[in-house]
Structure 1
Amino acid sequence: MNAKAAKPLGGHLERLVRKRIQAGQITQLPEAVSLFHRLLSPQNHPPSILTINNLLATISRIKHSSRYSAVLNLFNRLKCTRDRGVSPTIHTFSLVMDCCRRMGRADLGFCVLGQSLREGCGVDSIMFGSLIKGLCELKQIGLAVKVFAKMPLMGCVPDLIIYNTLIEGVCSTGDTRLGLELCRRMAKEVGSSKPDVITYSSLIHGFCKEGEIDMAVEVFTEMAAQKVRPNVITCTILIDGLCKNGDVITAQKVFVEMPACKLVPDLHTYSSLIHGLCSQGDTNSGLRMFDDMAAKGVVPDAITYNILIHSLCSQGNTHSALRMFDEMVAKEVAPDVYTYNGLILGFCGLGDINKAFEIYDKLVGSGLQANEITYNTLIDGCCKEGSFLRASELLRDMRDRGVMPDVVTYSSIIHGISAVGDWNRAIGVFRDMVSQGISPDVVTFNALIDSLCKQQLTCDAEKLVGFMEERGVKPDVITYNALLQGYVLEGRLDEAAEFLESMDLKGIKPNKRSYNTLINGYCKNNRIREALHLAEKMMEQGLKPDDVTFDILLNAVSNHESPVEMKKLISEMRDVRKDEDEKQ
């Protein structure tokens, strides 16, 4: 073999690899790995680290689930070739650090950082940026903050991307005030990057999520003072936060001011504001906003329609809700299960169970799967109408379709059966519920306790309260009001009075219904003075007697020979309440 024939082919191979990388022709992981090994083969000339870095970068972009682990394996292979003059550079380490992040292995990122320092390559902001981003993605925010604090000590200045990454991270874990500190530090540092619209949007979003709306508005104002213009996303985040906090008026102001900043509200902006208006019960304003949205060429989606359909149904305006549903279908916006659920809830609320079932049939006919909300709404509607057979059929259908009943399902059935006084049947459903592994909640227990008390079986109700507490379910004011009513119905007024006194000690504050129940009991048993005394005590506790209270008292004194001063006292109590209402 002559000398020319024996010449290694490494130089030619390296040129070929470079050419193929530039042309984007390396797209398969096995081939790329093979080329890497051939480049480092002892039989070939050592390649330049530039070619190696480019090939590793190419491998990291190949669409393959093992591309990042492949880069790490090849990097380890590279460490074995240092004696041939192929040593990693800071760019190599940065590449490997990014792959560690994408694999969710920030722990390996620390190893890469240490190795880069040991190799004398140093570290740069890119490596720190990858490590901080990886830690934030893993929600290890405390560690990310510590790494960030080390940057100046290593001679690295964090750039805007690193600041934004960390600020978004701390905001996502509920520490938005720390994010604001970082933002203000960045704004003050000489030669540092300055906060941008992404920085401020992250802060506003964080404060809105935490319910600190005043801080969100303050940041929005500070943003303007720093001459950073908001974008549509910023305004939408703030509008959504304000609406969810019930401050629709301020949200509308932000919305109105958007055109002055040359910002055009988008679908999400409109939907957020429409939702806010409807949540306040102002469906008409929501509909006007919907019309404005259409006039501006913004196409509503299923979420927008659903907001309005649910709002209309909650107000009993199912006719308009159906019209909106028809418009939705005509405009080829596909209704989802949430759309149908809104209509079903609306008709059940009106007691039109047959129409609710028509909507249910449409839902099933459309190919959508009814969910637990669908079934629970229909079952509750049936039970309120006394259609227990229909409710049982729905329960079977629910299970057959793979939708498992929950505590709400059973509570509706138990409440409905209890309301008609069928105690034994209610207990049967209760036992079935427990046997299915579904834990009853306070609503379930309250339905049974209320039924027992109305049947003057208060002793049994007391036992059930004990069982309820044994299962870790805490009674509420509704539970105790049911027991109060039971004592009153059984004529045990002194026990009822003692029970009312004890409610505070048990951590349950009596409400107007608590007092009215006992006041009614006193009046029916001609104990008018005690009833009046209790009404006065009710006022001392900061509870204003309502129309029910006065009706009970006035009926009592008018049906009995009561002293004039009693009638005068009732009249004075009513005048005091009227004066307080007018002041408010």
Structure 2
Amino acid sequence: MRASGFKPHLHACTVLLNALVKDKLTDMVWKVYKKMVKVGVVANVHVFNVLIHACCKSGDAEKAEKFLTEMELDGVFPDLFTFNTLISLYCKKGMHYEALSVQDRMETAGISPDIVTYNSLIYAYSREGRMREAMMLFKEIKDAVPNNVTYTTLIDGYCRLNDLESALSLRYSMADKGIYPTVVTYNSILRKLCEGGRIRDANKLLTELGERNIEPDNVTCNTLINAYCKIGDMASALKVKDKMIGAGLKLDQFTYKALIHGFCKARDMKCAKEYLFSMLSAGFPPSYCTYSWFVDVHCVHQKEEEIIKLPDEFVRKGLCVDVSLYRALIRRFCKREKVDCAKKIFGLMKEKGISGDSVIYTSLAYAQWKSGNVSVASDLLDEMYKRRLMITLKLYRSFCASFAGDDKILGLFWSHVVDRNLMSKNTLKDLQ
């Protein structure tokens, strides 16, 4: 088109940009826009709205503000969609003050907010726990009708502040207005009931959900499963799990984690392992926290040898054994000052041809240092240096948080680490 001397049509450019945004090809959006400007295509409000929407998708508030400034300099006036997108972006980024300030700009521009605007602003207040202001804005809504999103946002806000009474009052109020709760509304209330140990009331709410023909989702089921696991009622937790599968829902990472934790608390390690293996087979990698529960239970019952054999059980089940399993076990044994167990796992790991990472070496070195084996700790740090395994800022902060009560010992250890050049200049600079 350009070779023939034709300038691209503005509408065609807008359609192209919009398609790129939908496909999340943000970098391509900026390239196309630059080419548009270069060939003399003058952007209108629709083009700028697409660009700001792209910023919203990518979470780039700074770029969105630049486009807004560019609009104003080009004499293009923002419309309702522009302001709503900006508010949504600010809320997404947790920039609630900026989101609320957009309302003033709208008034200055003579643009009346719609229910989308109000919902976003109410969300901003609710997320900050400013329910008084959220309710004031709710009562001030004009030329718009509060909808399900409005009420659900307010209900969730009250639940987050532990004000279940106000949340329930709003639920009845929305029903009076002919607006019925969705599963998202119920999930907020259900979560708060379960957190307060009100399982009976939670089940009543679940019955009501069924009477309204509202299908529970993963969040609903996981909330109940987690609540039952916390009180040790594994039979009820498994019943909910079975209903979940019967409803066509799939167990997710949270489901497995809750059930594993529940069985570990109940000291039923056979079932805990079964769900651990199922979790891995389903493609969900367990976290350090999940493996820690296994280590803790076995240590309490002085059955450390059983958990040391866990990698072999993985192999027998046909599961992949990688460094993440060894890392988690070594970290937890070191945390519990079971240095001999950590050393055994480290030896087994090396026998399998798996190389340790910075977390493993640092955990072992600090455990040895803390137990008085300074020379062994130094050897481990020397090996780290030879393998160019550096201690990152993230690892440093994680250790400081994990061993918060060891200030004096930890301080000496870090000095030893710095002397061995195991922290980069940038990391040391960030620590100053």
User: Which of the five TM-score ranges fits, normalised by the shorter chain?
Assistant: 0.7 to 0.9
Structure number with the bigger relative contact order (C-alpha 8 A, sep ≥ 6) is 2
Matching residue of 2:41: 228
Matching residue of 2:365: 533
Counterparts of 1:120-159 in structure 2 under 5 Å? none
Instruction: Could you tell me which runs of 5 or more consecutive residues in structure 2 were left unpaired when the two chains were aligned.
Output: 344-360, 368-380
2:268 to 457, 478, 499: 457
Equivalent-residue separation in structure 2 for 1:426 and 1:577 (angstroms): 48
1:213 to 10, 23, 26: 26
Q: Which amino acid aligns with 1:580?
A: T
Residue 412 of structure 2 is aligned to residue 568 of structure 1: yes
Matching residue of 1:280: 93
Counterparts of 1:283-432 in structure 2 under 5 Å? 283-328=96-141, 331-432=142-243
1:554 to partner: Cα distance: 6.5
Q: Does the 8 Å contact 1:229/1:261 carry over to 2?
A: no
Residue 299 of structure 2 is aligned to residue 486 of structure 1: no
Equivalent-residue separation in structure 2 for 1:275 and 1:511 (angstroms): 43
Q: Does the 8 Å contact 1:414/1:448 carry over to 2?
A: yes
Matching residue of 2:4: 189
Equivalent-residue separation in structure 2 for 1:517 and 1:553 (angstroms): 12
| 1:448-485 Cα distance to aligned partner (Å, 9 max, x none) | 1111123332222012234456xx6223233x632332
* Residues 217 and 431 (structure 1), Cα distance of their counterparts in 2 relative to 1, 3 Å cut: closer
1:289 to partner: Cα distance: 1.2
1:549 to 399, 403, 413: 399
* Residues 259 and 568 (structure 1), Cα distance of their counterparts in 2 relative to 1, 3 Å cut: closer
* Residues 206 and 548 (structure 1), Cα distance of their counterparts in 2 relative to 1, 3 Å cut: closer
Equivalent-residue separation in structure 1 for 2:3 and 2:342 (angstroms): 74
1:361 aligns to what SS in structure 2?
Answer: helix
Residue 391 of structure 2 is aligned to residue 583 of structure 1: no
* Residues 308 and 436 (structure 1), Cα distance of their counterparts in 2 relative to 1, 3 Å cut: same
Q: Does the 8 Å contact 1:240/1:272 carry over to 2?
A: yes
Q: In terms of Rg, which structure is larger?
A: 1
Matching residue of 2:351: none
Q: Does the 8 Å contact 1:347/1:356 carry over to 2?
A: yes
Equivalent-residue separation in structure 1 for 2:231 and 2:424 (angstroms): 37
* Residues 246 and 438 (structure 1), Cα distance of their counterparts in 2 relative to 1, 3 Å cut: closer
Q: Which amino acid aligns with 1:317?
A: R
Q: Does the 8 Å contact 1:450/1:483 carry over to 2?
A: no
Q: Does the 8 Å contact 1:524/1:556 carry over to 2?
A: no
Aligned length: 385
1:355 to partner: Cα distance: 1.9
Matching residue of 2:350: none
* Residues 581 and 236 (structure 1), Cα distance of their counterparts in 2 relative to 1, 3 Å cut: farther
1:334 aligns to what SS in structure 2?
Answer: coil
Residue 250 of structure 2 is aligned to residue 439 of structure 1: yes
Matching residue of 1:476: 285
Q: Which amino acid aligns with 1:336?
A: N
Matching residue of 2:82: 269
1:493 to partner: Cα distance: 4.3
Matching residue of 2:378: none
Equivalent-residue separation in structure 2 for 1:324 and 1:298 (angstroms): 17
Matching residue of 1:521: 336
The two structures have a TM-score, normalised by structure 2, of: 0.77
Equivalent-residue separation in structure 2 for 1:205 and 1:486 (angstroms): 50
* Residues 416 and 582 (structure 1), Cα distance of their counterparts in 2 relative to 1, 3 Å cut: farther
2:113 aligns to what SS in structure 1?
Answer: coil
Q: Does the 8 Å contact 1:309/1:321 carry over to 2?
A: yes
Equivalent-residue separation in structure 2 for 1:554 and 1:581 (angstroms): 20
Which region of structure 1 is more displaced relative to structure 2, 542-551 or 273-282? 542-551
* Residues 530 and 271 (structure 1), Cα distance of their counterparts in 2 relative to 1, 3 Å cut: closer
Equivalent-residue separation in structure 2 for 1:508 and 1:430 (angstroms): 31
Equivalent-residue separation in structure 1 for 2:201 and 2:418 (angstroms): 47
Residue 17 of structure 2 is aligned to residue 204 of structure 1: yes
1:299 aligns to what SS in structure 2?
Answer: coil
The two structures have a TM-score, normalised by structure 1, of: 0.58
1:292 to partner: Cα distance: 0.7
Instruction: Could you tell me which runs of 5 or more consecutive residues in structure 1 were left unpaired when the two chains were aligned.
Output: 1-185, 559-563
1:367 aligns to what SS in structure 2?
Answer: coil
Aligned-residue Cα RMSD (Å) equals 3.6
Equivalent-residue separation in structure 2 for 1:289 and 1:513 (angstroms): 46
* Residues 325 and 498 (structure 1), Cα distance of their counterparts in 2 relative to 1, 3 Å cut: farther
* Residues 288 and 551 (structure 1), Cα distance of their counterparts in 2 relative to 1, 3 Å cut: closer
Sequence identity, in percent? 25
| 1:180-226 Cα distance to aligned partner (Å, 9 max, x none) | xxxxxx22225xx5312112112222222233323212222222222
Equivalent-residue separation in structure 2 for 1:262 and 1:219 (angstroms): 22
1:233 to partner: Cα distance: 0.5
* Residues 512 and 262 (structure 1), Cα distance of their counterparts in 2 relative to 1, 3 Å cut: farther
* Residues 397 and 498 (structure 1), Cα distance of their counterparts in 2 relative to 1, 3 Å cut: same
Equivalent-residue separation in structure 2 for 1:317 and 1:573 (angstroms): 46
